[in-house]
Each structure stands twice: as structure tokens, then as C-alpha cells.
Amino acid sequence: MRNIIAWLCLILLIGFLINGVLFLHPFGEPEETAMDDYFIAHSQAETGSNNVVTAILFDYRGFDTLGEATVLFSAVAGVLLVLRTVTRKKKDDE
């Protein structure tokens, strides 16, 4: 029974990978949207930034960027905490 489930999961995974590769958007050919034109036309007036990328990262998506930085900080702090605990246990055992 486990073999059947394992094979079904493997086939499903391969199917997802093939589907992803077949419908992959060609690199270097972005789809143009009305949102792109809006950001280019209005970013300097709305944010005061001369760089459109900076305006999007820090003004339009500021909370998203803050959330990403928080997740990265938490991950690094967690890894350091685990590694520090393992090191202390080794020193205590000696």
C-alpha cells in the first residue's frame, strides 16, 4: 500500500513539474500591464522618489517589505538560537 501511495505522489510531482515547465513564461519577455504604466507615470509625483523600483519597494509595498525583513530576521534568530543551544550542550557534556 505504501508503494502505491509513494508512486502516486511521485507521478503527481512529476506532473506538476512538467506542467510548470510547459507553461513557463519566456525569460526577458514580460507581459505589459496597465499597472506598469501607472507606476512609471505617477511614482515620482506620489512618492518623491526618482527611482521607480525604490518607490515600489518602500512606498507602494512598504508593509510587504517590512514583513519580509521580519521573517528573515526571525529565521536567522531562530537558527542562531538553536545553534547556540547545541553548542552549550556540548560544552556542558565535556
Give the pLDDT band (50/70/90) at residue 89.
Answer: low
pLDDT at 31 over 80: no
Residue 12 has pLDDT above 90, yes or no: yes
Q: How far is it, in rounded angstroms, from Cα 49 to Cα 58?
A: 10
pLDDT digits (tens, 9 = 90+) for 38-84: 988 999 999 888 999 989 888 888 888 899 999 999 999 999 988 88
Q: Which contiguous run of DSSP H or E holds residue 53?
A: helix 52-55
Sign, CA torsion 46/48/54/59? negative
72 or 27, greater pLDDT:
72
Quick one: which of 25, 59, 13 has its CA closest to 39? 59
- Tell whether pTM > 0.85: no
Percent of the chain past pLDDT 70, that is, above it, reads 90
How far apart, in whole angstroms, are the C-alpha atoms of residue 60 and residue 49? 11
- What is the structure's pLDDT at 93? 64
